[in-house]
Amino acid sequence: MSRHAVRNLPKTARLNGIEISYEDSGGTGQLVVMVMGTGSPGRVWKANQQPALVRAGYRVVTFDNRGIAPTSECADGFTLDDMVADTAALIEHVGGGPAVVVGTSLGARITQELALARPDVVKAAVMIATYGRTTPLQEAISVGERALYDNKITLPKEYEAAITAHLNLSPHTLADDRSARDWLDIIGYSPQTVTPGVRAQFELHNAEPNRLDAYRAISTPALVIGFADDRTLPVHLAREVADAIPGAKYEQVEKAGHFGYLEQPAAVNKLLLDYLASVT
């Protein structure tokens, strides 16, 4: 096995009172730490964004948030502040900071809060498909997700795949029958498993406070990326975050839903690489 392959094996560190599983691409380039959204492991970044950043010379660390095994599931519950502290502790553990921190969805919310609470560990922040407040629709979806788990209700896999595609992909993608079938197959073959840890993550979406005014104190350079067809977190929520953070840059990806980083990877990667080049 090559030295490069060994360096990329998952590692575990005890940080902030829990075990955190992470992968480090290694190298001497600018450190980029990537934070995934609700219910998803850090390896999702490896489909598109992590390889592009590594090829460009960046040192990339991905990790599984608390709630996502093999990181501690913490099924008894935790707070967003706990997840922010986890990310800060990981940056300090791997060294090479301050880091460029890239997050999507819940991971973007963590990134925003990290830039506010610990600017010493954040060189620049990139928030993808983000939000600074919850909406009645988001709250209703969150209530439903928790109720399904608590009542031990399992949706038929075909229906679950269809709902997941509808909520997270662009209508432009789903309008093409072949593309729609491909995505339904992908989602069906790799469904999200709701574990006790994921259920604890769902609890975080229960009427989260409006943090837009607080974000006016963020001094870290910031990029917000919105997806034009995002049904899960409509694009106006991302714009609100960009408007709240002084000097933040806003970019929008067309024909992309909530999974836009998977749906339109070339566009997302270009935005990331151009922005990182401007701040590192």
- Give the whole-angstrom CA distance, residue 42 versus residue 57: 20
* Res 192: pLDDT: 76
- Residue range 221-252, pLDDT digits in tens: 999 999 999 999 999 999 999 999 999 999 99
Residue 146 lies in a domain: no
42: left (phi over 0), alpha (psi -120 to 50) or beta: alpha
Residue 200 included in any domain: no
pLDDT of residue 207: 62
Distance CA 163, CA 185 (A): 13
Domain that holds residue 253: 3-135+209-279
222-227 and 249-253: which strand pairing? parallel
pLDDT digits (tens, 9 = 90+) for 32-83: 999 999 999 999 999 999 999 999 999 999 999 999 999 999 999 999 999 9
Q: Which residues of the chain have pLDDT under 70?
A: 1-7, 207
Residue 40 lies inside a defined structural domain of this protein: yes
Contact (Cβ atoms closer than 8 angstroms) between residue 64 and residue 44: no
Catalytic residue IDs: 105, 230, 258
pLDDT score at 1: 33
**58: CATH:** 3.40.50.1820
Number of domains in the chain: 1
